[in-house]
Amino acid sequence: MKELEKNYNPSAIEEKLYQKWLDNKYFHADAERGKREGKKPFTIVMPPPNITGQLHMGHALDNTMQDILTRYKRMQGYEALWQPGTDHAAIATEVKVIDKLRKEGVDKHDLGRDKFLEACWDWKKEYGTRIIKQLHKLGSSADWDRERFTMDKGCSDAVLEVFVKLYEKGYIYKGSRIINWCPVCQTSISDAEVEHEEQDGFFWHINYPIVGEEGRFVEIATTRPETLLGDTAVAVNPEDERYKDIIGKMLKLPLTDREIPVIADEYVDKEFGTGCVKITPAHDPNDFEVGRRHNLAEICIMHDDATIDCKGSKYDGMDRYEARKAMVEDLKAQGLLVKVVPHSHNVGTHDRCKTTVEPMVKQQWFVRMDEMAKPAIAALKNGDLKFVPESFGKTYLHWLEGIRDWCISRQLWWGHRIPAYYCQECGEITVAKSMPEKCPKCGCTHLKQDEDTLDTWFSSALWPFSTLGWPEKTKELEYFYPTDVLVTGYDIIFFWVIRMVFSGYEQTGKCPFNTVLIHGLVRDSQGRKMSKSLGNGIDPLEVIDKYGADALRMTLITGNAPGNDMRFYWERVEASRNFANKVWNASRFIMMNMEKAPVHEVSLDDLTMADKWILSKVNTLARDVTENLDKFELGIALQKVYDFIWEEFCDWYIEMVKPRLWNDEDSTKAAALWTLKTVLINSLKLLHPYMPFITEEIFCNLQDEEESIMVSAWPEYKAEWSFEQDEYAVETIKEAVRAIRNVRTSMNVAPSKKAKVYVVSENQKLLQIFEHSKVFFATLGYASEVFLQSDKQGIADDAVSVVIPEASIYIPFAELVDIAKEIERLQKEEERLTKELARVNGMLSNEKFVSKAPEAKINEEKAKLEKYTQMMEQVKARLAQLQ
């Protein structure tokens, strides 16, 4: 046994211990070993952080939760695999590389595709492992030997396999549908990359003339007047009596030479706006669906850079916002602009470049979702998949039941290139894992691959099985798949969770995990989302450098309930650090005493009542924490461990046993030392998943039976460690001691001042408990002597009393207080209160003050009057008692 350093210094131990864990391969999971030793597998796949990523509080929370579950299961004897890896993050990485090249004076297109991809791989080599190294500092016990990347060969092979299979099955197709288009990045983007923010705008009310009915108009209201150039109808609700007579009539589309029909569609809300809605199928997802129902033309009126594409029009080539201004002026000049009403509405912006996204109909590659969604819906309904908390299952179903075909093509170079090959002679499209030697239709050898790449989510949807070697039938896939738990934030259910579930069923026939544990966001102390624009983000590495990884981890989990947001307070990190210090100092104290008298095995019969009490308590704690962790109640489990270590073990038991440790003649000293070591080891094991570093350092210095707490056995409930009677006895003593302490505190009695304690009870069993516990009254209740009796005989009339169940405790007043000094103190207090009461009464009886002072000031003085009056009554009562 080595001696711990005097002060706990996280920076001195964390890096050293993490390297030890890596060197000893403690994180490594082995399918063959698991099968050979009959172990059950436990698998978590890490949501792959972007290679552009920097560790933020969301990552820290997400990975801490995964690490807790993995360390817990590993200690329980499972072959626990936490599968790590990173995502190529197509748009984010491409933007970073373009910016880097631009600073070097190089343009992406001048460089060419192949050279640009070389630059991307160079960037990945330089920056791609940065966030992984940061996760090391957090203490993440992922199997880094198995680290994967969404564009490594194995994952890329899986992407090709899936694309070709889905295409051959008719689930992947190329067609024109509405997508999110970023005019700056000039690519389609996923819904996940669109941030909706509230913006102040306007409703422009415009009159569309009814053809053949001079002076009669249909009034529409729009937030984007420039899109009217692409209108192909105006819709009204078929039940709207106001407009039944114009259904089927034609309207003159303002600023154009076109006419468009009035159509009836239930999509229109009669109560919203004017009840007439302009339909622009090429620039609005809802309008697109209406247009398909009514076979309307889809007129795209914008170029890729969001300038107007309207040949022969004065607006052609204008920026969309420049065109908006010009069109509004022209509408006003033609008398067709009815009014402009301020309107606040949600606007979609690209999360990377912050540009307002333009919904546009474009030729893209899509995945047909109607059939693939069905097994994913059934999984939740039949119980194969569950959410924690359950309520998020409704969100999952809501999105799945309303799912649209998924746009999977991106106009980027960095990513998985779409494996579609175009014959340059006959136009035939061939989808294959590699370029065909010739066109299967015409035999031409001049083939060209599709320029687009796949949506990043396409590869990450395969993550739970592609990382284990699929489509090959590997031993890892056989043993570790399906995985057990997915830990993720509530903001990514649709974008990632749903896609993994339907991909898992489609490719493997199995749900990729049985449980989705949802966590909330880490917000700042004011409850705001952390963001660069607000400047309120907190770097987890800064917290680790200042307080240690264990303090950060504990802070993130304390009070954390699944699905709920949490607020970050520096004060809570300090409290976590203080707890670490408490554990460290208690351990040092125990180890110092163990050095003086080596610990040896004792019989449970040799234990005292206090020993059995704390052993029984830690035994129950092991059962409760196990139950909580199995229910994913990570915050509740941590609170129980914290309360036990701080209060029961440190504040009560260690104080109880000090007299035994300091008395070499005490025959129970060996039992005390064995109990201290046993309970400390079990406490450290229960704390280890949350605070891995400090628990490892103490554990390895405290004992040499097990080489690391990481691979030690998780504490299990033992029937022979259950001592209900001893628990009752000690809890009774604690209640008595607390009562004595409260009395002394209320009377400002210093701990150094000892006093006699009388316990009066007719319950002989209770008196017997106290008889065996007199020493605790001395050490914990500051008693000079303890008397146990069945009546009040011999107790002074002025004795202070407190009542506990089935007993009363008396302390002679004269032993607590120097009566002469207390009378002098009370007389001074009486004089002070007399002056205060005179002042307050004077103010409240002054008519000028009462008539002119603010009501709040008057109420404040009234409150003071009430307070001082009560205090004066108490002082006089105490004086009368003493005199």
Q: What SS3 class is residue 197?
A: strand
Task: From residue 151, give the alpha-carbon distance in Å to each of 87, 118, 414.
Answer: 8, 13, 10
Q: Output the CA torsion 728→730→736→740 (10° steps).
A: -160
**What's the confidence (pLDDT) of residue 784?**
84
Q: Is the pLDDT of residue 698 over 70?
A: yes
Please, what is the Cα angle at 31 between 25 and 34, to 5 degrees? 85
Amino acid at 448: K
Strands (E), 13-135: 41-45, 79-83, 85-86
Give the model confidence (pLDDT) of 382-416 as tens digits.
999 999 999 999 999 999 998 889 999 999 999 99
Q: Is the pLDDT of residue 359 over 80?
A: yes
Q: Output the CA torsion 540→545→551→556 (10° steps).
A: 0
Give the model confidence (pLDDT) of 111-120 as tens digits.
999 999 999 9
Q: Is the pLDDT of residue 838 over 80?
A: yes
3-class SS letters over 509-520? CCCCCCEEEEEC
Average pLDDT, integer, range 349-357: 82
Average pLDDT, integer, range 552-556: 96
Maximum pairwise Cα distance, the chain:
118
Q: Is the pLDDT of residue 814 over 80?
A: no
**What's the confidence (pLDDT) of residue 1?**
66
159 close to 61: Cβ distance less than 8 angstroms: no
Helix 540-547 crosses helix 57-75 at what angle (to 10 degrees)?
A: 60
**710 Rama class: left (phi>0) / alpha (psi -120 to 50) / beta:** alpha
- What is the pTM assigned to this prediction? 0.86
3-state helix, strand, coil in the chain (%, to 5): 50, 20, 35
Average pLDDT, integer, range 52-61: 88
Residue 35 known to bind ligand: no
* C-alpha–C-alpha distance, residues 464 and 483, integer Å: 7
Residues 6+ apart with CB under 8 A from 46: 63, 66, 82, 83, 84, 85, 142
Task: From residue 307, give the alpha-carbon distance in Å to each of 88, 194, 216, 278, 533.
Answer: 31, 20, 33, 21, 28
For tokens 């070097």, name the residue.
Answer: 104
Sign of CA dihedral 278, 284, 290, 295: positive
Strands 79-83 and 41-45: parallel
Sign of CA dihedral 177, 180, 181, 185: negative
Half-sphere exposure for 420 (CA within 13 Å, toward CB): 20
Strands 386-388 and 406-407: unpaired
Average pLDDT, integer, range 695-719: 96
Q: Is the pLDDT of residue 755 over 80?
A: yes
Name the strand (E) or helix (H) holding 454.
Answer: strand 453-454
679 close to 618: Cβ distance less than 8 angstroms: yes
The DSSP annotation for 397-442 comes to HHHHHT--PEE-EES-SSS-B--EEEETTT--EEE-SS--SS-TTT
Give the model confidence (pLDDT) of 472-483 as tens digits.
999 999 999 999
Averaged pLDDT score across all residues of the chain:
92
Q: Is the pLDDT of residue 779 over 90?
A: no
* C-alpha–C-alpha distance, residues 498 and 263, integer Å: 36
Give the model confidence (pLDDT) of 556-598 as tens digits.
999 888 888 888 889 999 999 999 999 999 999 999 999 888 8
User: What is the 8-class DSSP label of residue 651?
Assistant: I
Amino acid at 489: G
> How large is the C-alpha radius of gyration of the chain?
37
Q: Is the pLDDT of residue 63 over 90?
A: yes
Q: Is the pLDDT of residue 647 over 90?
A: yes
Give the model confidence (pLDDT) of 230-263 as tens digits.
999 999 999 999 999 999 999 999 999 999 999 9
Nearest to 299 by CA among 365, 226, 373: 226
Sign of CA dihedral 688, 693, 696, 701: negative
**What's the confidence (pLDDT) of residue 257?**
92
Q: Is the pLDDT of residue 449 over 80?
A: yes
Spell out the domains of the chain, with CATH numbers in brackets: 199-352 (3.90.740.10), 550-722 (1.10.730.10), 727-817 (3.30.2320), 820-882 (1.10.287)
499 close to 459: Cβ distance less than 8 angstroms: no
Residue 297 neighbours by CB distance under 10 Å? 12
Query: What's the token pair of residue 331?
Result: 């509408």
Nearest to 164 by CA among 421, 382, 349: 421
Q: pLDDT tier at 533 (50, 70, 90 boundaries)?
A: low
Amino acid at 863: A
Length in residues, the chain? 883
User: What is the 8-class DSSP label of residue 606?
Assistant: G
Give the model confidence (pLDDT) of 202-229 as tens digits.
999 999 999 999 999 999 999 999 999 9
Give the model confidence (pLDDT) of 726-737 as tens digits.
999 999 899 988
Looking at the chain, the whole-number percentage of residues with pLDDT higher than 70 is: 99
For tokens 């509230």, name the residue.
Answer: 198
If 0-12 CB within 10 Å is exposed, 13-18 middle and 19+ buried, where does residue 820 land? exposed
Quick check: bond before 261 cis, omega within 30? no
If 0-12 CB within 10 Å is exposed, 13-18 middle and 19+ buried, where does residue 741 land? middle
Average pLDDT, integer, range 106-128: 93
